[in-house]
Structure 1
Amino acid sequence: MKILVLFFAVFIATSSNAVVKRHDIPSRNYVLEKVPEYLIDLPHEGHGVLIKPQWVVTVAHTIFYNYIGKKLRVGDKVFEIEEVHIHPLYIEPGEVLFKGDAAPLMKFLESRSDIALIKLSSPVTTSEPIDIYPNIDQAGKEITVFGRGATGNGEIGENLETKSLRELNHFRNIIESSKGNWLSYKFNKPPDALPLEGMHAAGDSGGASVIIENGKAYLVGLSSWQVWRGDIANFKGGLYGTTAYQVRVSNYRGWIESVLGNS
C-alpha cells in the first residue's frame, strides 16, 4: 500500500456532509442531490472525471495499486478498468518528507505531475463526458468543485471521522493563480468569501473543478493538495486562509491526447 494512502488521509484535502464549508452557512446549502454525469467514484476513495466515452482522468495519488480489472460505476452501469496510465513525472515522496518542516514536502508536491488516465473496458453511452476547458485564462474565474470526502468548516478545519459518510457536496471559489501544472485558490474567511465558498478535504482528491460558460460546464482542475507551513505533525486541513492546489488539466492536454491516440 502506498505511503500516500496514509498521508493524504490526513493531509489533503460539525456537519454530516462532505467538503469543508463556511462556518456561518447551513451545511444543507452545499448538498447536491444529483451527481454530475461526468463525476466518477474510484474503487476506494477519491474521484475521476469522464472526459471521453472510454476515458476517465484523475489524480495519480488515488491509484493505490494495480486497478486493472477493478469495477467503476458510471451512471447506472458498471465497467471494468482496462488500462491505467500514470504520468511519467509522477513520483511518490520518501518517508523523510513526512517529518519535520513541511517546506521540502511542499516543494516536492509542486514539482511533480499528479495526473493519471483510466481506460474503461467499453465506451460509456448513458453518461455525457465533460470537455476540458479550451483556454489558458483560468486565473480570476469562479469554479465549482465536487467531492464526497471529509467535512468540517473553516474555523475548526476538516474532521476525518466524517470521511466515511460519502455524501456528495459542492462548493465554489475563485482561482487565484493559474500557471504550469497547477491552479490554486484560497479559502477566505467571511465576509471576504463567496456565498458557498469552501475547500476540498481528505477523500475529495480527483474531484472535478469546473468553469461554467454560456451554460456549459468545462473541466479545469482536479483536487490534489493543500499548502502547509511549519511542522507536518501539526497539519490541519481546511482552515480559513489555507491555499489549495488542483491539477491544471489544460496543461496536460498534449499528454492526454498522446495516451488516447496510442491506446
Structure 2
Amino acid sequence: MIRFFFLMLLLAAASTADAVVIRHDVDDSGYRVPASEFPALVDMPGEGHGVLIAPQWAITAAHTIPRGSDLRNVMINGVSRDVERVVMHAGYKTLPQALIDQAMASGEAMLIVVFLASSDDIALIKLTHAVTDVAPVQLYKDSNEPGQIAKIVGKGATGTGATGHSSNGPNRTALRRAFNTITSAHDRWLCYVFDAPPTALPLEGTLGNGDSGGPLLLQSDDHWLLAGLGSWKVVQGDVRTARPGRYGQTSCNVRLSHYIGWIESVISGQSQAGANNSCMGSTCK
C-alpha cells in the first residue's frame, strides 16, 4: 500500500506503498531474498505490512488497518497469528473525500501532501499470544538518520525506476530488499529520493503499492534496527496520469524515533491515550 498521490490510488480509498521497485539496469534476482532475510515481517490481510517489535506486539502504518472489517489475524513467518486488539495513534487522520475529489478534478495533490504530513500514521497491534519462533526487531531511537543508508523490505508491487509499476497490481509479489539514502528527517517523517543511475546505490530502490507499514532499517554495529514504516510518496506532475515508482519520486516513512515514548507507553500499558484509541475490527476507524 504506500499512499501515493496518484488518481488511481486515490480512487482506491487512498491506498498507500509497494513491493520494492528496482533499478532498470540491475537484474531482479539481485533484489529478491528468501523469507529468512526478515522473518519479523508482518503480512496484513490482502496487502500491507508491519513489523514484530515485541513478542506480543507488532507495529504498522495506521492506514493499513482494514476499515469496516475485523482485523482478526496477521501472518508472521508464514504462520497466522490472532489479533487481540489494535491501538491507533490519537493523531491519525483519515484522508477526507473532499481532498480526493479536488485532486481528481485538478490533477494537483499538494493539499493532500500537507494533510498527510500532519497525520500520525502509526498503529500498534497486540497479538493474542506471544510469538516464540521469531525474534522481534529492536527500534532505532537516535535522531541522526539523515545521510544514513537504509534497507527497505517488502513484497508488494514491483517494477523499475525507468517505467514505474502498474497501479492496478498485483500488490503482493515476491520478497525483495533494496537500499536508499535518507535525505531528510523531521518530526514525524523520514524521507528518501529514488535516484537514477549513475548516482544511485548499487541496489537502490523504493517502496510502492502493497508495502505500507513495511520496514525501513538502519544499521547499528552488526544489527539492523527499525527506524521507519512505509507511508506515503510525493510525485511530480498531474497525479491523474503520473506512474508510481519512477525515478525522482520521494518516499516518506513514519519516523519511529519520534514515537518512542508513545510506543513504549502503550506496550507497557501506561498510555491512557492508547487505551482510549484501542479498537477491534470494525471499530478501528
- Find the partner of 1:107 among 110, 114, 122: 114
Partner of 1:251: 258
- Provide Cα deviations, 1:72-93, integer angstroms capped at 9, x if missing partner: 2323543210010111111111
Find the counterpart in structure 1 of residue 191 from structure 2: 184
Counterpart position of 1:50 = 52
Q: Which residue of 2 aligns with 1:40?
A: 42
Q: Return 5+ residue gaps in structure 1 as ranges.
A: none
Residues 4 and 114 from structure 1, CA distance in 2 versus in 1: closer, same or farther, beyond 3 angstroms?
farther
The CA distance in 1 between the partners of 2:130 and 2:242, in whole Å, is: 41
CA contact (8 A) 1:139 1:178 kept: yes
Q: Which residue of 1 aligns with 2:279?
A: none
SS of 1:160's equivalent in the other structure is coil
Distance 1:122 1:68, change over 3 A: farther
Equivalent residues in 2 for 1:1-263 (5 A)? 6-9=12-15, 12-13=17-18, 18-35=19-36, 36-65=38-67, 70-75=72-77, 77-98=79-100, 99=103, 100=106, 101-262=108-269
Other structure's SS at 2:200 match: coil
Comparing 162-171 with 232-241, greater Cα deviation is found at: 162-171
- The amino acid of 1:6's aligned partner reads A
User: Given residue 195 of structure 2, which amino acid in structure 1 is its aligned partner?
Assistant: N
- Code of the residue aligned with 1:148 in structure 2: it is K
Q: Supply the AA of the counterpart residue of 2:206.
A: M
The answer to whether the 8 A contact 1:102-1:229 is kept is: no
The Cα shift of 1:158 comes to 1.6
The change in CA–CA distance for 1:69 and 1:231 in structure 2 (over 3 A counts) is: closer
- Residues 38 and 128 in structure 1, CA contact (< 8 A), matched pair in contact too: yes
Give the unaligned 5+ runs of structure 2.
1-8, 270-274, 276-285
Deviations along 1:38-58, one digit per CA (max 9) or x if unpaired, are 111111211010000000000
RMSD over aligned Cα atoms: 1.9
Query: Contact 2:236 / 2:249 at 8 angstroms: preserved in 1?
Result: no
Query: Is 1:102–1:228's contact at 8 Å kept on the other side of the alignment?
Result: no
CA distance in structure 2 between the aligned counterparts of 1:69 and 1:206, rounded to whole angstroms: 15
Please tell me the residue identity of whatever aligns with 2:89: H
* Cα distance change, pair 196–8 in 1 and its aligned pair in 2 (3 A): farther
In 2: Cα distance, 1:229 partner to 1:195 partner: 24
Shift of 1:122: 1.1
Do 1:106 and 1:228's aligned partners in 2 also have CA atoms closer than 8 Å? Answer: no
Question: SS at 2:209's partner residue?
Answer: coil
In 2, Cα distance between equivalents of 1:148 and 1:58: 15
Contact 1:4 1:92 (C-alpha < 8 Å) held by counterparts = no
1:257 shift after superposition: 1.3
